């Protein structure tokens, strides 16, 4: 019997890093296949590349971010408009320009977000060097983690000025039920979701306090006292 011809291969999905605005495509970008394995691994560790499940390859983070916020391939055409009525030509040209402007606005927003994230990362490094000694003095005793009662009683020593946090006496933390209430109150007070509109330094301090309290209370519960 005659052999059947193999089915045609499906068309290859366009690459995510192509933005078609009706012009000639840009020259191909260097991807993971043209980089050494060590270079790719280094870029992944630095957060500059990640694996893309759609294209099944490593791509630059900014490409994935562009797709995430809606900068996707958009075809706006490049056909001859001379045969169309003037008002139709004008409408088409305005539509093309609107699409291009919208894409550029999203790119500008992405660049601003990336710049802000980099600036905050730099600020976090400086804050860690400056505030670590004070935070460690609050959370540790000669290298050993303090218990939840000690952390709650001394929390006012590391809270930022004007935070509104009221000190808790160690005498109010002798009952496990009171410890639990105080912990949940403090945890809600410095929860990251509550700090989004505060300064970088306040978010840094709040996150460190929140993490220390969470770990100490988990150990408190494991001891059977919670």
Query: H helices within 52-175, ranges in order?
Result: 61-68, 86-139, 148-154
Q: Which of 79, 81, 104, 77 is nearest to 21 (CA)?
A: 77
Structure confidence by residue, pLDDT tens digits, 136-180: 999 999 889 999 999 999 999 999 999 999 999 999 999 999 999
Structure confidence by residue, pLDDT tens digits, 169-203: 999 999 999 999 999 999 999 999 999 999 999 99
Structure confidence by residue, pLDDT tens digits, 80-115: 777 888 888 888 888 888 888 888 888 888 888 888
Model-level pTM greater than 0.85?
A: no
Q: Is 131 exposed, middle or buried (0-12, 13-18, 19+ CB in 10 A)?
A: middle
| b/e burial code for range 21-30 (CB count within 10 A of at least 16 → b) | beeeeeeeee
């Amino acid at each position: 019997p005659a052999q059947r011809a193999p089915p045609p291969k499906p068309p290859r999905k366009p690459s995510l890093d192509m933005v078609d605005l009706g012009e000639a495509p840009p020259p191909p970008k260097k991807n993971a296949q043209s980089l050494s394995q060590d270079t790719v691994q280094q870029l992944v560790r630095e957060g500059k590349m990640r694996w893309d499940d759609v294209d099944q390859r490593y791509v630059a983070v900014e490409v994935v971010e562009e797709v995430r916020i809606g900068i996707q391939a958009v075809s706006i055409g490049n056909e001859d408009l001379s045969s169309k009525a003037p008002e139709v030509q004008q409408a088409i040209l305005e539509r093309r320009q609107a699409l291009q402007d919208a894409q550029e606005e999203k790119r500008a927003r992405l660049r601003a977000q990336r710049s802000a994230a980099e600036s905050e990362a730099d600020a976090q490094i400086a804050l860690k060097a400056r505030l670590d000694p004070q935070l460690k003095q609050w959370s540790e005793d000669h290298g050993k983690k303090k218990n939840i009662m000690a952390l709650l009683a001394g929390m006012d020593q590391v809270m930022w000025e004007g935070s509104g946090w009221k000190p808790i006496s160690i005498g109010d933390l002798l009952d496990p039920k009171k410890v639990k209430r105080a912990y949940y109150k403090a945890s809600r007070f410095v929860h990251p979701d509550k700090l989004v509109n505060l300064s970088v330094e306040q978010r840094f301090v709040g996150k460190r306090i929140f993490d220390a309290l969470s770990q100490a209370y988990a150990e408190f519960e494991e001891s059977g006292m919670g």
